[in-house]
Amino acid sequence: MNQKTKIESSHELRAASCKSLVNETANCDCDWKLHAFKYAKFIVFAVVFFLSTFTLSAQQQRFPKPEFDTGYEQPSPITPEPRALALEYFDVLVLLLVLSAATWMALKSRSRHGLIWLSIFTLAYFGFYRNGCICSIGSIQNVTLTFFDPTYAISLSALLFFVLPLLFTLFFGRTFCAGACPLGAIQDLIVIKPISLPKWLNKTLGLIPYLYLSLAVLFAATGTDFIICRYDPFVGIFRMDAKLLMAILGISFLLMGMFVARPYCRFLCPYSVPLSWMSRFSKWHLTITPSKCIQCKLCANSCPFDAIDYPTNEKEVVKSGLGPKRFLTYVLIIPLWVALGVFVGNRSHVFLSKANSTVYLAELLISHPEVRNDPDNIDVQTFMSLGKTMDELVVEAEKIQVKFYLGSMIAGGFMGLVIGMTLLNTVVFRKRQDYEPHKGNCFSCARCVDYCPVEK
């Protein structure tokens, strides 16, 4: 079965619809206005949420059904219909304006309140109004498929949604996360009493986005699936049509986010990987103080994401045993980690390839030939109706498995490199005099700015 036929299968139709796709700090002396605003933001969020729900449920069609009776029943769309090209460019313009506003509020005006209101707008527009699609996170798959499938051409709007946040991050830090991402906004607005996770747990869970990114790129490159869109925990909430399991997943993330701030952004989001890379090179990144730090420590507990690096205590560094020998040891074992990752990828490519509908269908028909007579199996009946032979199906499945063979080893080697570099980073000594946001992990949310007494 060729690629075109595979996409026409019901399995791929369900994924194709997605292709076009506060912190309350501990014991701080805040005035009554700040407290009042923090409580007010939850009320505003709730109002926006219920108004959006009511608006979507009460929305009428622009072109109503004809009044004459033809016996035809108009189907109810389960995904957003394609927009006009001008409206797609309008979405890009809105994204550009929101990114600019978030950057100005985080770096220039240093306004946490402004970022909250901007997040509410982002959630209302890109989340509930635009149904979470198109999004920068899912555009990773569109870009990947463009490179590996010559028959697929990415739309300009999808490309811009992928590129613009990365460009802003390269110069100004992760201001996209601060107020332009609807997935981040819905989590950020429900943070009530965040807890701080142990460093080792933070680093371990921080490896998951790299794995998720590897699998997403692998599945998109082989034309298998857009797993970022398929398993987005919040898009079902935005569209009010989530299936039971996805609804449970989305609600679980939101409940967890009340105490573990932004769990999806920190421990799952694949787009956070390139954002973190770009942010490390940003020249105009958010700073806690507008001038010299006075070591008041008020910002120490203000960040719910554990993204603030403390001043270095050289005595503790000496006691920890960090030194050239340990550094060289970790450097030398990086190739071993890469080799181990390649080996694991090699051994797992057969299992991973079964996610592809063509490979799955070939194995199904070979192991259970009786399903050819099953009228309820749409994939099998579609294949039978095309008049193709089993030999042709097997040849196509073998070609796809070769792609998985190479892709899985590359993905495994990449993960081995990530693990090796993560371990190496634990023994790297960086001298710091002040409290500073970690450029890679900081979401530029400006919470720490509220607790800095240094005047602007």
Q: Omega into 134 within 30° of 0, i.e. cis?
A: yes
Q: Are residues 377 and 438 in the same domain?
A: no
The contacts of residue 366 (CB under 8 Å, 6+ apart) are 390, 394
Work out the pLDDT band at 243, boundaries 50, 70, 90.
confident
pLDDT digits (tens, 9 = 90+) for 66-116: 444 444 444 444 444 455 678 888 999 999 999 999 999 999 999 999 999
Q: Are residues 32 and 157 in the same domain?
A: yes
> Which residue is listed with tokens 């070591």?
295
In a domain, 455, yes or no: no
138-150 average pLDDT score: 93
In a domain, 254, yes or no: yes
46-71 average pLDDT score: 40
Give the per-residue SS3 of the chain.
CCHHHHHHCHHHHHHHCCCCCCCCCCCCCCCHHHHHHHHHHHHHHHHHHHHHHHHHHHCCCCCCCCCCCCCCCCCCCCCCCCCCHHHHHHHHHHHHHHHHHHHHHHHHCCCHHHHHHHHHHHHHHHHHHCCCCCCCCCHHHHHHHHHHCCCCCCCHHHHHHHHHHHHHHHHHCCHHHHHCCHHHHHHHCCCCCCCCCCHHHHHHHCCHHHHHHHHHHHHHHCCCCCHHHHCCCCHHHHHCCCCHHHHHHHHHHHHHHCCCCCHHHHHCCCCHHHHHHHHCCCCCCCCCCCCCCCCCCCCCCCCCCCCEECCCCHHHHHHCCCCHHHHHHHHHCHHHHHHHHHHHHHHHHHHHHCCCHHHHHHHHHHHCHHHHHCCCCHHHHHHHHHCCCHHHHHHHHHHHHHHHHHHHHHHHHHHHHHHHHHHHHCCCCCCCCCCEECCCCCCCCCHHHHCCCCCC
Which residues are registered as beta bridge partners of 437? 308
Q: Are residues 421 and 438 in the same domain?
A: no
**How many CB atoms sit inside 10 A of residue 314's CB?**
10
The terminus-to-terminus CA distance of the chain in angstroms comes to 64
pLDDT at 313 over 80: no
pLDDT at 308 over 50: yes
* Mean pLDDT across the chain: 81
pLDDT at 175 over 70: yes
In a domain, 33, yes or no: yes
Q: Are residues 344 and 301 in the same domain?
A: no
Q: Are residues 124 and 258 in the same domain?
A: yes
pTM over 0.85: no
In this prediction, residue 50 carries a pLDDT of: 40
Q: Are residues 267 and 385 in the same domain?
A: no
Work out the pLDDT band at 216, boundaries 50, 70, 90.
very high
- Token digits of residue 30: 């805040």
In this prediction, residue 82 carries a pLDDT of: 52
Percent of the chain, pLDDT > 70? 79
Alpha carbon distances (Å) from 213 to 273, 412, 451: 8, 12, 35
Q: How far apart are CA 440 and CA 448, in angstroms?
A: 16
Q: How far apart are CA 132 and CA 138, in angstroms?
A: 10
Give the domain extent around 368.
Answer: 324-425
pLDDT at 34 over 70: no
Of 334 and 5, the structure prediction assigns the larger pLDDT to 334
Q: Are residues 302 and 401 in the same domain?
A: no
Of 419 and 378, the structure prediction assigns the larger pLDDT to 419
In a domain, 63, yes or no: no
Q: Are residues 186 and 49 in the same domain?
A: yes
pLDDT at 207 over 70: yes
In a domain, 284, yes or no: yes
In this prediction, residue 4 carries a pLDDT of: 41
pLDDT at 262 over 60: yes
The contacts of residue 358 (CB under 8 Å, 6+ apart) are 1, 6, 393, 396, 397, 400
pLDDT digits (tens, 9 = 90+) for 181-205: 999 999 999 999 899 899 889 999 9
Q: Are residues 208 and 249 in the same domain?
A: yes
**Based on the structure, what is the number of domains in the chain?**
2
Work out the pLDDT band at 58, boundaries 50, 70, 90.
very low
Q: How far apart are CA 263 and CA 327, in angstroms?
A: 31
In this prediction, residue 35 carries a pLDDT of: 42
The contacts of residue 318 (CB under 8 Å, 6+ apart) are none
Q: Do 185 and 443 meet the contact criterion of CB atoms below 8 Å apart? A: no
Q: Are residues 302 and 385 in the same domain?
A: no
In a domain, 76, yes or no: no
Q: How far apart are CA 301 and CA 427, in angstroms?
A: 24
In a domain, 69, yes or no: no
- Token digits of residue 81: 């219909």
Q: Do 246 and 233 meet the contact criterion of CB atoms below 8 Å apart? A: yes
Q: Are residues 332 and 209 in the same domain?
A: no
Name which of 168, 448, 157 is nearest 308 in CA terms: 448
Q: Are residues 205 and 332 in the same domain?
A: no
pLDDT digits (tens, 9 = 90+) for 393-416: 899 999 999 999 999 999 999 999
In a domain, 255, yes or no: yes
Burial of 7 (0-12, 13-18, 19+ CB in 10 A): middle
In this prediction, residue 425 carries a pLDDT of: 87
